[in-house]
Amino acid sequence: MSILIDENTTFIIQGITGREAVNMTRECLDYGSKVVGGVTPGRGGRDVYGVPVYDTIKEIVAKERVDGSVITVPAPFTRDAAFEAIENGIKLLVIVTERVPRYEMAQVLELARLRGTRVIGPNCLGMISPGKSKMGGIGGPAANTKQAYKPGRIGVMSRSGGMTTEIANSLTAAGFGQSTAVSIGGDPLIGSTYAELMPLFEADDETDAIVIYTEPGGPMDAQLSLWVKENKSRLPIVAFMAGKFMDKMPGMRFGHAGTIVEGKADTAAEKLERLKEAGISVAEEISQIPDLVRERLS
């Protein structure tokens, strides 16, 4: 199996006629994803690589089953695009856009909770269930994606889009394929944190272990540690923390919007302590990840 998406998942792309979105559409189609439509207001009636473009989501859901939507519209329009998707009954959103103000994202996430919609991102590259489907720019062109990602039994969650692929690449090289890899997003407020995705991986009988990539800043690692302890997870977890140098540079943002050391709980040192306490293995470098996974699985 896999989580969130598989070969049957249908999705649309909001902002499909943008330059990056056009590339992403082709990459997803080449990979085998079922892109059933796109939305750009005022461009209804056109098509992007054969994918019909509409003015409104309402028109698409009237005639198609739409499982998800990838939102690639510019930041000032992101909240409205997300509201449109949620209110038209779409239950899975990938928000790629970065630089969306936090309050507006909180509004999107609050409405999503009310309507039972799952959100991945913002500021992410989406997700992939290798060999089945990818939703978002993750992995890039289909040929590159197939080189880095192979079907298998490791779940991956990462705050960095690029590092999702780097980690998958190192797992693949060591003979570990992936069930689903999720670029969860680099913002301080994101739709799905590690702990919020864990129950899905836990319930997936084709996932045997989890690899996470994390950074200083935010409460997500402490939340994961707590979840692991409280739920006695069956899944061994291997974590990698980047940005340890930031512990000495409070108040400065590096890497992603959510990556900043403001209090003690934000530091890499403190987070690593929490992760280890919960029995999570910590890799000093990416290349150690496959060995640690092998060790934890034996």
Partner 1 sequence: MRFYEYEAKALLRKQGVRLPDGGTAEKPADAGKIARDIGGAVVLKSQVLSGGRMKAGGVKFADTPAEAETACAEILKLPIKDQMPVNVLVEAKAAVAKEYYLGVTFDGVAKLPVMIISDMGGIDIEEVAETHPEHIAKVHLSTLHPFSDYQAKEAVASLGITGGELNQLTRVLAQLVRTFLAYNLTLAEINPLGKLEDGSFVVLDCHLDMEEEARERHQKSVLDELGIGADEMRQGRPPTEFEKRGARVDNVDHRGVAGRVVEFEGNLGLVIGAGGGSLTIFDAVQRFGGKPANYCEIGGNPSVLKACELTKVILSKPGVDKIAVIMNVVSNTRVDIVARGVVKGVVESGFDPAEKIAVFRIPGAWEGEGFKLLEKYGVHYCDRTVSMSEAARRAVEKIAG
Contact residues: partner 1, CB under 8 A: 20, 75, 99-103, 105-107, 109-111, 114, 137-141, 144-145, 148, 158-163, 165-166, 169-170, 173, 186, 188-189, 193, 213, 215, 218-220, 223, 240, 242-246, 249-259, 263-265, 284-287
d(CA 114, CA 281): 35
Q: Which of 54/240 has CB closer to partner 1?
A: 240
- Residue 256: active-site member: yes
Residue type, 191: G
Least gap, CB of 271 to partner 1 (angstroms) = 13
Give the nearest distance from C-beta 12 to partner 1 in angstroms. Answer: 21
What CA–CA distance (Å, rounded) separates 144 from 129?
A: 15
Closest approach, Cβ 48 to partner 1, in A, equals 18
| Annotated active-site residue in 132, 256, 271, 274 | 256
Q: Using CA atoms, how far apart are residues 48 and 35, in angstroms rounded to an integer?
A: 10
Cβ 102 to partner 1, closest distance in Å?
Answer: 6
Active site residues: 256
